[in-house]
Chains A and B, each alone.
Chain A
Amino acid sequence: EDALLPSPQNISILSTNMRHFLTWSPVTIQGETVRYSVEFQGEYEREYANESWIPICECSLITATVCNITEDISATVAYNLRVRADTGARRSQWGTLKGFFNRITTSLTPPPMKVIADGYHLLVELKDMGPAFQFCVLYWKKGQESRMHWKMVKDVSSTVHLDTMEAGHDYCVKAQTYVETINRSSSFSQTQCVRAQGGRSLWL
């Protein structure tokens, strides 16, 4: 008699830059507030812990149809996820995500970046995207694309010094994020070029 409610449908994952969200379509019952609860199951639970499921308490009996599962998807293994509807008096069967979710499939976007020339010094400002992220920054003297330099940047709390520039020359920079735990990188950001002191100040 418990399983009268229809189980949630269209269960899917939105995962960008290592932030993972489970979403589903609402279950609508005239005159009743429907709440949802989410559980996850890692590969460890399937293989070593009798296929047990673990509730996510932040997404227990919630009215929203989205749950931030980032904290629990904390290993590069295949996860199962499920959600069920609940009106208090009645409850649905679990609706389970079709297929596993592995964070290795997260989509990585190029990092927002600002390049600065401060006298003869080439600097870059990058946005902190969380502890999982590093930045691979490529820079080169304009016209010498074959002689690119690169620098891995981890701490981006402020303006990061890249290198010194020859007076009056133009230097170009592009960056991509790199996530070591999944060994993947984003595509490169737009290239930005600046000119070192000692020549016409022109933003190219």
Chain B
Amino acid sequence: PRTAAHTGELYCSLPNPRNVHFESINMKNVLHWSAPEGTGEGVLYKVKYSVYGIGKWIRKPECRNINRTWCDLSNETADYEEQYYASVKAFLNGMCSDWMETARFNPLTDTKLDPPMVNLSSTEKSISIILTAPEKWKRSPDGESVSLLQVYPGLQYNVSVLNKKTKKRWFFSISNNTLVVPWLEPGTAYCVSAQIHVTTPLIHSGFSKEYCIATLKDKTA
């Protein structure tokens, strides 16, 4: 690489990585980017990040000279009371690109939430629904689990219950994670899906897939 005489910096003429951004789900924060325009195989990248307000750029060793176009920075951005920037530089055949930065990333507001887990049980005339909010990303499987309920105290659930026989759908909004729907028809299939809804900051998950269960048959019939 040619050195820029006056600044001693490498003169970087390779096109820049594009669309450098965080993709975050349940605060698993992964940096993504697209390869520089017109560069085929063989491009390598390195990544750095910084905490907003401190500004010291920190290299990410596991994402040095990588050929993939993503880098998991969940560990480095786990403190959701801070905000972050990340940056990527590309290398090919001795040439390099400029550092390309993300917008400022706020893990608390810029993450997406998975729908809750839905567990069902039924009796002859009722179904019981137990919802479990997803966990915040954690460093290791045996690490301490933090429910997103602790991160977003105002978290609520929207629950949809579909009677497969009548095709009628009912909606419930609940703050705690259990719901019993009584007085149902015996021997009838009901399908349930649920969504997480946070009002401040305004975030909501999609609806979960439908979980179905049938009420038990009426023994007296």
Within 8 Å by CB, do A and B touch in the complex? yes
Q: Which residues of B contact A160 (CB under 8 A)?
A: 170-173
Which of B158, B170, B185 interacts with A155 by CB under 8 Å? B158
Cβ-defined contact, A159 with B171, below 8 A: yes
Which partner residue on chain B sits nearest A153 by CB separation? B173
Question: Closest CB of chain A to B116's CB: distance in Å?
Answer: 15
Cβ-defined contact, B173 with A158, below 8 A: no
Q: Mark A87-120, 1 if CB is under 8 A from B, else 0.
A: 0000000000000000000000000000000111
Q: Using a CB-CB cutoff of 8 Å, which residues 33-86 of chain A contact chain B? A: none
Q: Which residues of B contact A155 (CB under 8 A)?
A: 158, 171, 173, 197
Number of interface residues of B (CB under 8 A): 17
Q: Is the interface of B mostly helix, strand, loop or mixed?
A: strand
Cβ-defined contact, B183 with A120, below 8 A: yes
Q: Which residues of A contact B161 (CB under 8 A)?
A: 161
- Tell me if B201 is interfacial: C-beta within 8 Å of chain A: no
Number of interface residues of A (CB under 8 A): 14
Which partner residue on chain B sits nearest A156 by CB separation? B171
Extra contacts besides A119-B185, A123-B170, A159-B170 (16): CB < 8 Å = A118-B166, A118-B168, A118-B170, A119-B184, A121-B170, A121-B183, A155-B171, A155-B173, A158-B160, A158-B169, A159-B168, A159-B171, A160-B171, A160-B173, A161-B181, A164-B182
Q: List residues of chain A with CB under 8 Å of any chain B CB.
A: 118-121, 123, 153-155, 157-161, 164
What are 17 residue pairs bridging A and B, where the CB atoms are less than 8 Å apart in the complex?
A: A118-B166, A121-B170, A153-B173, A155-B173, A155-B197, A157-B171, A158-B160, A158-B169, A158-B170, A159-B168, A159-B169, A159-B170, A159-B171, A160-B171, A160-B173, A161-B171, A164-B183
